[in-house]
Structure 1
Amino acid sequence: MNCSIELKYSVNEVTEFINTQIQELMSIDDPKEIATILKNISANIAKYIYSPELILKTSQLAEYITNPFSDLKNKESISAAKERILMHLKELKNYIYEEKLKFINYKSDIDEETSILILKKILNNFYEHIKSMYLDDVHGKGNIKKDQLENIKIGNEYDVQRILFSLIKPIFPNAGTEVIEEINCSTVRYDIDIESCNTTIEVKCTRPSMSERTLNEEMGSDSFHYRRKHILFFVYDKESIISNIDSYKKEYNKKFDDKFIDIVILQPINL
């Protein structure tokens, strides 16, 4: 196999699936039934194996030429595609069994260190999402129109939080918003909380009435009261109140009381 292959299930489960596909194809002679299997074979394999090259090759091998004037030619063409796919599946099964390919467990939690790296990458590239989703030209055949996207504007931190959470949730399904925690005689509220990596993300969106000093006070209070190991501040400086971003980052990127605090500042975006 001259392509990269990773398994979504164990070797035994994947080989059992391939065996089932082989047996089903070998037991069927009706051209219509064979054609149905050939049509779905790539999608079915993609459920068990991650490999864009393999899926493309499978799709190509499953193709056949139809002749509207000859049922015999159609039958021969489908039969030839069937034999190609059978040989392909047998080679794939042997390769997977012999190489003991890697099983990707998509359902398992990501370790803490990797989780933080992923979250920081999402925060630092937030504008890339804004640009590609709301600002770039849309496809002419799509139902989502440019004027609809232009109506979406970020007005406050709840808007920022919603967009950001939609990027985080698919990767961290246990993430939650507006999470309340009781601490001694008071309560704290986490904007975005990710229990699996002991992390909270505090979203700030500057407003015309906010000064840099006010922002400092809010962040200082949050840093003190929050009880997560990792505290990530995401400051959407809509009003450009932060005068020196580099100095600001040096001030707040630190560790104290066994907490790791990092800040990402985005300034500004016209949305």
Structure 2
Amino acid sequence: MPFIKVNKEEAISELQNIISEANKINELITSEENKQISDFFSEWQECVEELLKNIIDDSNLVSEFESETIYLENSFSKYSTKNEVTKAISRGIKFLKRLREDISKDVYKDKKIISNEIPYEIANIIIRRILQNFHKHIEAMYQNTVHGSARILKCDLDKIKIGNEYDVQRMLYSIIKPIFPLARLEVVDDTKYNSIRYDICIDEYDVVIEVKCTRNSMSERHLTEELGSDIFHYQARNLFFFIYDKEKIIRNKDAFIKSYTKKDTELNKNIETIVIQPILL
């Protein structure tokens, strides 16, 4: 996810200054005596592009701005060129105002690197890998052969069984916590309408992990209704659903994952679903 390289207030202030410069250029090019319309506009474009590179880590942003501010210069008509530049500046200003509003609404988060230097954009990759390979932790910790000199006995490990989502949540949290020390468990968030409980919350990366463990009394339809409600109510930019399908109620795992994995939804969320269906022989 793109993030701002400076603090939010500084980014908003810089954008406001460059918008003000655009308004001044508009005043200049309305003067009939001005014969350097294109030069003024080109200089402003370059300043904006440099600013975007300095305040936001998004390689597509400059290209989007360039597309918004393209104009056709008419070498035979000064009036036509002036009109086209004015329109281009207007589109550029609207683009920058939208960007300023997005930053003020925290669409772009501050770049955050925690003590072990995991960059924001890498955090989701690590979380995804942990969730996708959760079953390997179960195998390595509880199911594989125990060394003969170990004090932890295999018979004791065999007593540990996953009974419900709280068991899954505890195991998963124990893996995540050493990598993301600021991760929190059972976080309550009071909204305007009701209270929401997040299973695992990693605030500095705007990540929430919701854990599900299927049971005999649960239908696939009931599970999808829970996910739909969570997607609507949970306030996080990056929402992971980790489903330990203990009872294998999900009939088509691949189709299910595809249905509940979306990027940049209308609710401004990235939603990713990981399903683990244990194989017991």
For the 8 Å contact 1:175–1:193, the answer to whether it is kept is: yes
Q: Is the partner of 1:238 in helix, strand or coil?
A: coil
* CA offset digits 1:43-100 (Å, max 9, x no partner): xxxxxxxxxxxxxxxxxxxxxxxxxxxxxxxxxxxxxxxxxxxxxxxxxxxxxxxxxx
Identity of aligned residues (%): 51
CA positional deviation for 1:269: 4.7
2:276 pairs with 1:266:
yes
- Paired residues in the alignment total 167
Cα 1:195–1:109 shift into 2, 3 Å? farther
Match of 2:106 in 1: none
Match of 1:130 in 2: 138
CA positional deviation for 1:111: 2.0
Which amino acid is 1:258 matched to? N
> Quick one: which of 217, 223, 231 aligns to 1:223?
231
Which region of structure 1 is more displaced relative to structure 2, 251-260 or 231-240?
A: 251-260
For the 8 Å contact 2:183–2:201, the answer to whether it is kept is: yes
CA positional deviation for 1:175: 0.4
Match of 2:190 in 1: 182
2:164 pairs with 1:156:
yes
2:130 pairs with 1:117:
no
CA positional deviation for 1:108: 4.4
Match of 1:41 in 2: none
- Unaligned 5+ segments in structure 1 are 1-104
TM-score by length of 2: 0.58
Match of 1:211 in 2: 219
Which amino acid is 1:112 matched to? Y
Q: Distance in 2 between matches of 1:253 and 1:211?
A: 20
For the 8 Å contact 1:127–1:269, the answer to whether it is kept is: no
Match of 1:232 in 2: 240
Q: Is the partner of 1:169 in helix, strand or coil?
A: helix
Which amino acid is 1:191 matched to? D
* CA offset digits 1:139-165 (Å, max 9, x no partner): 111100000000000000000000000
* CA offset digits 1:119-153 (Å, max 9, x no partner): 00000010111000000000111100000000000
CA positional deviation for 1:185: 2.7
Aligned ranges 1:62-73 → 2 under 5 Å: none
Cα 1:118–1:175 shift into 2, 3 Å? same
Q: Distance in 1 between matches of 2:212 and 2:138?
A: 17
Q: Is the partner of 2:178 in helix, strand or coil?
A: coil
* CA offset digits 1:235-263 (Å, max 9, x no partner): 00000000001110110101311100000
Q: Is the partner of 1:216 in helix, strand or coil?
A: helix
CA positional deviation for 1:106: 7.8
TM-score by length of 1: 0.60
Kindly report the root-mean-square deviation, in angstroms, between the aligned alpha carbons of the 2 structures: 1.6
Q: Is the partner of 2:278 in helix, strand or coil?
A: coil
CA positional deviation for 1:231: 0.4
Match of 2:209 in 1: 201
